[in-house]
């Protein structure tokens, strides 16, 4: 076995043209959002076309009042929750958080918490098919959501193919920008999830969506179809971005590299990580040299090199023992999360609906705002099931 980072993991996915799949209804669209309300209009338009419920999980610049006003003006059913007002204990405390808590690798974001909360609400609400949609994703063909929902009977998760800004780490962006081949993969920005995958969770680490695709040992049946467009951003604006991504990018690329080689997590030993880390650092160093020798504008070169050096510096702190320890803790967390889902279904058997879900979780009234539309309007929409859009 030659531990190395692979340029593509696309062979791990089943690929479908939208014209070849029968559509189905999406129960809900879950939007973890930290931006102002106008950023929610893509999700609102998709929910309106597919008559899906909208769940906004808000923080920072996103307010529940602003989110619900946008939904109300569009005539869609929605609930907005202010996650800053919630008890962090709503989501189990994970062993992986303990591993990183007092280290430089601790990740200070709320995205994983929001997505995990969305899963708990989905379980209690009785939803079967949900879509995670980030607030910086555009959907040129909203009917693709129906196609993705139609595949969830056979596949646990279905990602929409990103036709916009590549969804990569800073290191992988630099590899591509320096002229080498670098592919993308499906991710949580536009990810349809079936009920069978509600027993997965999002750890609080970069590439948390890649770990969500796993069942604790291997990749769940996963597919890709349709189109989503990631809005542009500058990956090299702040070297801290690359520094904060490095552990999660290393772990995910290392694990998926094993899958590419038809191997499993049993092979993710300390000797494997020793070889993988050496290859990762080699790639970063070579990319720095490629950037310096490229025709890229001097200022951009400098920012790219600064980000790569930040990633390399953080990589030097990652040990094979830490990689093994983190993955063992993650597998413990998988068991803990599955038990949480099992307990919820047992303790709240017979209940359904989003009102039941938020009540069962004890979400306070001051942390939520909602809007509904008349039943007659919803029934009228249901007479026109979501189908793949004709492409010209």
Residue whose C-alpha is closest to residue 83's, from 63, 108, 101? 63
Please indicate whether residue 70 or residue 373 has the higher confidence score (pLDDT): 70
pLDDT at 383 over 80: no
DSSP-based three-state secondary structure for 311 = helix
Q: Render pLDDT for 157-196 as a digit per residue (tens, 0 to 9).
A: 999 999 999 999 999 999 999 999 999 999 999 999 999 9
Alpha carbon separation from 16 to 131, 141, 152, 392 (Å, rounded): 18, 15, 12, 18
pLDDT at 377 over 90: no
Categorize the per-residue pLDDT at 243 as very low, low, confident or very high, splitting at 50, 70 and 90: very high
β-bridge mates for residue 38, sequence order: none
What is the rounded CA–CA span in Å between residue 170 and residue 167?
Answer: 10
CA neighbours closer than 13 Å in the CB half-sphere of residue 379 = 3
| pLDDT confidence of residue 46 | 96
Q: Render pLDDT for 44-93 as a digit per residue (tens, 0 to 9).
A: 999 999 999 999 999 999 999 999 999 999 999 999 999 999 999 999 99
What phi, psi does 160 have (nearest 5°)? -85, 135
pLDDT at 120 over 60: yes
Q: Render pLDDT for 126-149 as a digit per residue (tens, 0 to 9).
A: 999 999 999 999 999 999 999 999
DSSP-based three-state secondary structure for 268 = coil
| pLDDT confidence of residue 27 | 98
Categorize the per-residue pLDDT at 380 as very low, low, confident or very high, splitting at 50, 70 and 90: very low
Q: Render pLDDT for 312-333 as a digit per residue (tens, 0 to 9).
A: 999 999 999 999 999 999 999 9
| pLDDT confidence of residue 351 | 84
| pLDDT confidence of residue 47 | 97
What is the rounded CA–CA span in Å between residue 256 and residue 246?
Answer: 15
Contacts of residue 229, defined as CB under 8 A and 6 or more positions apart, other chains included, come to: 137, 138, 139, 140, 162, 163, 164
What phi, psi does 192 have (nearest 5°)? -85, 135
Categorize the per-residue pLDDT at 229 as very low, low, confident or very high, splitting at 50, 70 and 90: very high
| pLDDT confidence of residue 373 | 63
pLDDT at 31 over 50: yes
What the block records as the tokens of 68 is: 């619900």
| pLDDT confidence of residue 384 | 36
Average pLDDT of the chain?
94
Alpha carbon separation from 216 to 142, 211, 255, 264 (Å, rounded): 32, 8, 12, 11
Categorize the per-residue pLDDT at 354 as very low, low, confident or very high, splitting at 50, 70 and 90: very high
What is the rounded CA–CA span in Å between residue 140 and residue 136?
Answer: 13
| pLDDT confidence of residue 374 | 56
Alpha carbon separation from 185 to 20, 67, 176, 252, 379 (Å, rounded): 21, 29, 14, 11, 37
What the block records as the tokens of 365 is: 């009234």
Categorize the per-residue pLDDT at 3 as very low, low, confident or very high, splitting at 50, 70 and 90: very high
Q: Render pLDDT for 261-309 as a digit per residue (tens, 0 to 9).
A: 999 999 999 999 999 999 999 999 999 999 999 999 999 999 999 999 9
The whole model's pTM is what? Answer: 0.94
pLDDT at 33 over 70: yes
What is the rounded CA–CA span in Å between residue 358 and residue 346?
Answer: 16
């Amino acid at each position: 076995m030659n531990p190395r980072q692979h340029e593509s993991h696309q062979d791990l996915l089943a690929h479908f043209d939208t014209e070849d799949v029968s559509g189905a209804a999406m129960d809900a669209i879950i939007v973890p959002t930290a931006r102002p309300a106008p950023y929610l209009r893509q999700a609102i338009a998709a929910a309106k076309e597919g008559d899906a419920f909208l769940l906004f999980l808000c923080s920072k610049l996103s307010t529940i009042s602003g989110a619900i006003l946008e939904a109300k003006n569009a005539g869609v059913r929605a609930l907005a929750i202010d996650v800053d007002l919630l008890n962090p204990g709503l989501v189990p405390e994970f062993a992986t958080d303990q591993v990183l808590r007092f280290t430089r690798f601790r990740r200070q974001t709320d995205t994983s918490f929001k997505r995990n909360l969305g899963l708990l609400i989905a379980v209690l609400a009785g939803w079967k098919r949900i879509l995670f949609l980030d607030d910086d994703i555009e959907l040129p063909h909203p009917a693709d959501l129906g196609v993705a929902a139609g595949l969830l009977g056979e596949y646990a998760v279905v990602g929409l193919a990103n036709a916009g800004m590549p969804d990569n780490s800073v290191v992988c962006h630099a590899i591509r920008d320096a002229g080498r081949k670098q592919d993308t993969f499906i991710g949580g920005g536009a990810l349809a999830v079936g009920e069978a995958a509600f027993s997965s969770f999002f750890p609080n680490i970069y590439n948390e969506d890649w770990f969500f695709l796993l069942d604790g040992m291997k990749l769940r049946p996963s597919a890709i179809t349709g189109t989503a467009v990631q809005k542009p951003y500058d990956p090299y604006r702040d070297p801290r971005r690359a520094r904060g991504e490095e552990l999660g990018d290393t772990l995910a690329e290392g694990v998926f590299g094993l899958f590419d080689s038809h191997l499993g997590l049993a092979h993710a030993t300390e000797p494997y990580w020793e070889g993988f880390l050496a290859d990762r650092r080699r790639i970063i160093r070579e990319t720095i040299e490629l950037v310096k020798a490229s025709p890229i504008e001097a200022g951009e070169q400098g920012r790219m090199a600064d980000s790569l050096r930040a990633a390399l510096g953080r990589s030097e702190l990652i040990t094979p023992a830490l990689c093994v320890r983190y993955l063992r803790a993650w597998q413990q967390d998988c068991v803990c999360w599955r038990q949480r889902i099992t307990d919820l279904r047992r303790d709240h058997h017979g209940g359904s609906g989003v009102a039941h879900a938020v009540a069962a979780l004890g979400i306070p009234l001051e942390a939520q705002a909602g809007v509904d539309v008349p039943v007659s309007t919803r029934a009228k929409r249901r007479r026109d099931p979501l189908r793949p859009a004709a492409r010209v």
